[in-house]
Amino acid sequence: MDFKKILMTAKDVALLKEPTMRAVAADKDALKPALIIVAAVSVLGALGYWIFPTTFGANLVYRPDLMWLLGQALSAFVASVVALYLTGYLAVHLFKSKLPMEGFVRAGGYGMIVGALSVIPAVSLIGAVWTLVIFWSLLSKLAKLEVVEIIVLFVIDIVAFAFISMLFVGW
């Protein structure tokens, strides 16, 4: 596995280069690297909380322990994979996407490289917003969904995640 090539391809997906997005979406061998990217970004996000601990006032600092970091990384990985598959599934089955679910998962997984910004919690929102831009681009350019369809799809995703969160976290 050529990690340099994978990272350069992920960068091009993150920069919304349509030929690269199409190539990754069509590449049946791109799923494993996409999931590795999602896993690495999940670990980086968790590490960000340890590297930059939360401070309360002048003297109180909270730095999470190893178990919390592992739980955070695992939950971020699972949530990301569920988001990719759910969005791809709904795009195909509700809106007749021209992009197969697996293609969305592969290209979206590569695009999640921008989540590496979450290693610095203060800029993690930039990575999250850009991930939505990447998803929007995949859904509009490759899946050929209309603006209203993409908005409805995102709203369904948000409601589904809110419901799932309530099941695991509670009311």
**What is the H or E stretch that residue 85 is in?**
helix 66-95
CA distances from 123 to 10, 55, 78, 161 (A): 19, 17, 22, 23
Domain of 147 in residue numbering reads as 3-169
Asked if 87 and 146 touch (Cβ cutoff 8 Å), the reply is: no
Output the pLDDT for position 154. Answer: 96
Average pLDDT, the chain: 93
pLDDT in tens, 87-136: 999 999 999 999 999 999 999 999 999 999 999 988 999 999 999 999 99
Output the pLDDT for position 170. Answer: 62
Q: Quick check: 57 pLDDT over 80?
A: no
Q: Quick check: 146 pLDDT over 90?
A: yes
Q: Quick check: 160 pLDDT over 60?
A: yes
- Looking at the 3D structure of the chain, how many domains does it have? 1
- Model confidence at 171, in pLDDT bands (50, 70, 90)? low
